[in-house]
């Protein structure tokens, strides 16, 4: 038993979404069972950074991506203004202000003002993080991400204090085929849809100057693609970060200078990191939080399944298909029509079978966007976190190489990626990764799996061989503790 006087190893956990937080809770619990740790959290959102002792109760609310429709009710003051002005006059005023927003010199002023305010924001948050790390004598940092902007002030602060940073992703690490003009094409395709990511284009004079600064002094941030020369984040953000003392050689892939180890859970992730030039001494092949969690849930699968089916009003004697809704539309990879047309096709195929279909939403997704589809095809929404309930499935389906497919594969659930790839992006998946693009082939595969369902829990528990050498040994927390403790 550990003496109460013994100094604990203090770990700061950094996260954004509720999905990240769910995994961090499991991580803290697992580490506490194998070592003497004390935990602190840094919860992030757009424009917010909240430090807390212990594990946060909830993740901070995330803003809905600006290109998506807003389902919230109009603000009372806006409704009153609209009523007073009249619908047509109100719309005309909004149109005038919107159309003049890009005119010089207003557009340049707005951009320069943003660069300055962002510089103050990033600098303030970096200094705040430095103070917190010092005051609470943090020993190490575990983060879900090491390239997304909101994480950078705290990660830079950790680097300045010589604290080890371990990257334990909540999503898996993808490998996308690299070829001339097509490098890491999914990320590039997402950025190509946004004009501000094109470093050779400018919507105002100030943007042209900022773009020139990045081209001249930070060329490693620029990648040449079939869509033109792109940056991972717009040049104004890159400049304001650098002004705040937060510099990085690039933002295109994981493995920033402040990261000591990157946790991986299979050969596919190792292959991805090596393709990015990550050295072996940064790669920590020990498994992952989801694999530990879903394996633990598998042992209680029967009672878990009965409880969830009861809550959702499902017949637990029928095969249960769990489908993870893609977030291509939310991520700007696909249009609304592309995503929802694909979903209609998929659910029409699933409707041929006498099975329960439960859908799990991505953290960026909003239930209201998918309610009409759910009603039309008699779909049930999964409540709670997928990581805690994925074991109930007899069949697990995805559409866009989602991380959660690996979770199902790790516990032996029949799994299929019914590929949706409207832009014909070349994605290099391992041979062991189940992937189908043809609806007829998909239907045949599904019919075979339905005939074997419901799957017995004992059958899943007996399986040990996993594709891609997925690491699920039950020793993840012990191995992570060994990496953290001196």
Judge if 311 and 373 occupy the same domain.
yes
For the entire predicted model, the pTM comes to 0.84
92-144 pLDDT per residue, tens: 544 544 444 456 688 899 999 999 999 999 999 999 999 999 999 999 999 99
Whether residue 105 has a cis bond before it, omega within 30° of 0? yes
Name the residue with higher pLDDT: 207 or 190. Answer: 207
Question: Which one, of 233, 230, 110, lies nearest residue 182 by Cα?
Answer: 230
Judge if 438 and 486 occupy the same domain.
no
280 in any annotated domain: yes
For all residues of the chain together, what is the average pLDDT?
A: 88
Provide the number of structural domains found in the chain. 2
* Residue 295 confidence (pLDDT) above 60: yes
237 in any annotated domain: no
Judge if 478 and 366 occupy the same domain.
no
Sheet holding 37-45, edge to edge: 48-53, 37-45, 9-15, 140-143, 165-167, 261-264, 283-285
* Residue 26 confidence (pLDDT) above 70: yes
83 in any annotated domain: yes
Judge if 163 and 280 occupy the same domain.
yes
Mean pLDDT of all residues in 270-294: 93
- pLDDT score for 58: 87
Judge if 310 and 271 occupy the same domain.
no
* Residue 290 confidence (pLDDT) above 60: yes
Percent of the chain with pLDDT over 90: 69
Q: Which of 42-56, 129-143, 180-194, 435-449 shows the lowest mean pLDDT across its residues?
A: 180-194
The CATH number of residue 361's host domain is 3.40.50.2000
Judge if 363 and 322 occupy the same domain.
yes
12 in any annotated domain: yes
Q: What range does the domain containing 131 cover? A: 1-64+74-173+254-288+471-486
Judge if 302 and 394 occupy the same domain.
yes
* Residue 458 confidence (pLDDT) above 90: yes
Judge if 78 and 154 occupy the same domain.
yes
Judge if 45 and 150 occupy the same domain.
yes
51 in any annotated domain: yes
209 in any annotated domain: no
Judge if 390 and 340 occupy the same domain.
yes
58-102 pLDDT per residue, tens: 889 877 766 676 654 444 444 444 454 455 554 554 454 444 445
């Amino acid at each position: 038993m550990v003496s109460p006087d013994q100094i604990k190893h203090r770990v700061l956990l950094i996260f954004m979404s509720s999905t990240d937080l769910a995994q961090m809770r499991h991580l803290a619990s697992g580490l506490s069972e194998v070592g003497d740790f004390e935990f602190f959290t840094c919860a992030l959102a757009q424009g917010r950074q909240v430090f807390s002792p212990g594990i946060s109760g909830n993740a901070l609310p995330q803003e809905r991506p600006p290109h998506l429709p807003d389902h919230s009710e109009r603000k009372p003051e806006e409704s009153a203004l609209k009523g007073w002005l009249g619908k047509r006059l109100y719309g005309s005023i909004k149109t005038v202000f919107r159309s003049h927003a890009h005119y010089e010199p207003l557009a340049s002023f707005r951009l320069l003002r943003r660069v300055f305010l962002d510089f103050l924001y990033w600098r303030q948050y970096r200094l705040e993080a430095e103070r917190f790390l010092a005051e609470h004598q943090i020993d190490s940092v575990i983060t879900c991400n090491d390239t997304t902007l909101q994480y950078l002030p705290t990660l830079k602060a950790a680097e300045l204090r010589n604290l080890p940073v371990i990257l334990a992703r909540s999503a898996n690490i993808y490998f996308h085929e690299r070829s001339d003009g097509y490098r890491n094409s999914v990320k590039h395709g997402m950025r190509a849809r946004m004009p501000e990511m094109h470093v050779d284009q400018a919507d105002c004079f100030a943007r042209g100057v900022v773009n020139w600064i990045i081209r001249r002094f930070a060329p490693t941030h620029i990648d040449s693609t079939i869509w033109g020369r792109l940056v991972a984040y717009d040049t104004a953000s890159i400049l304001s970060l650098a002004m705040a003392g937060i510099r990085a050689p690039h933002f295109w892939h994981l493995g920033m200078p402040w990261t000591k180890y990157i946790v991986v859970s299979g050969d596919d992730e190792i292959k991805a990191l090596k393709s990015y030039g990550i050295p072996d001494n940064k790669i920590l092949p020990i498994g992952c939080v989801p694999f530990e969690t879903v394996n633990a849930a598998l042992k209680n699968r029967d009672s878990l399944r009965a409880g969830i089916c009861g809550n959702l009003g499902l017949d637990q004697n029928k095969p249960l298909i769990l489908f993870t809704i893609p977030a291509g539309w939310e991520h700007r990879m696909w249009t609304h029509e592309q995503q929802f047309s694909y979903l209609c096709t998929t659910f029409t195929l699933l409707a041929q079978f006498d099975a329960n279909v439960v859908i799990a939403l991505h953290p960026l997704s909003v239930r209201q966007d998918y309610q009409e589809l759910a009603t039309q095809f008699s779909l049930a929404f999964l409540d709670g976190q997928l990581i805690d309930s994925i074991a109930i499935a007899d069949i697990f389906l995805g559409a866009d190489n989602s991380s959660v497919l690996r979770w199902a594969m790790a516990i032996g659930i029949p799994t299929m990626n019914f590929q949706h790839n409207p832009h014909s992006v070349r994605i290099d998946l391992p041979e062991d990764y189940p992937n189908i693009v043809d609806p007829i082939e998909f239907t045949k595969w599904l019919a075979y799996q339905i005939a074997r369902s419901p799957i017995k829990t004992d059958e899943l528990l007996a399986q040990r061989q996993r594709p891609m050498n997925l690491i699920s040994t039950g020793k993840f927390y012990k191995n992570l503790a060994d990496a953290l403790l001196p």
